[in-house]
Structure 1
Amino acid sequence: MEHDFSCPYCLAPISMLLDPSIASQTYVEDCEVCCSPIEIRYQIEDDAVVAFSAERLVE
């Protein structure tokens, strides 16, 4: 399932595929534009995204 958001560093628009077979997931992915690490968290229920965050990685 596709989900759109903005990079928390450079504000570039990002489109990402989320795996609906995994109900809840947290991982780090780099922005395709500025290469900064983004912590992605999401929760899916009944094939709908009910929670999503894309935040700066705390060092």
Structure 2
Amino acid sequence: MRGIIGKTIQCPHCGHHIPVNLDTSLGSEEFYDDCPACCNPIHFNLRVDERENTIELDVDADDEQYF
């Protein structure tokens, strides 16, 4: 399961489709990257579970309020 995985995500700000490469060899991580179309930051939360052999990716604008 270790390696580079290609995904296409949708920017939570403008809806632009963006191809991203995820390096699963580092395990789970959170990081930010800017949308190439609208330049707003996108929050990525990558979870790698090696026991279950699963990868989950959550993408959000990180400006959402939780109540």
Aligned length: 58
Question: Would the aligned equivalents of 1:42 and 1:52 in 2 still touch at CA under 8 Å?
Answer: yes
RMSD of the TM alignment (CA)? 1.9
Rg larger in structure? 2
Aligned equivalents of 1:55, 1:49: Cα separation in 2:
20
Identity %: 26
Q: 1:11 to 1:49 in 2, by over 3 A?
A: farther
Structure with higher strand content: 1
Which protein has the bigger helix share? Answer: 2
TM-score by length of 1: 0.82
* TM-score between both structures, scaled by the size of structure 2: 0.74
Q: Any unmatched runs of 5+ in structure 2?
A: none
Instruction: Provide closer, same or farther for how the CA distance between residues 3 and 49 of structure 1 changes in structure 2, counting only shifts above 3 A.
Output: farther
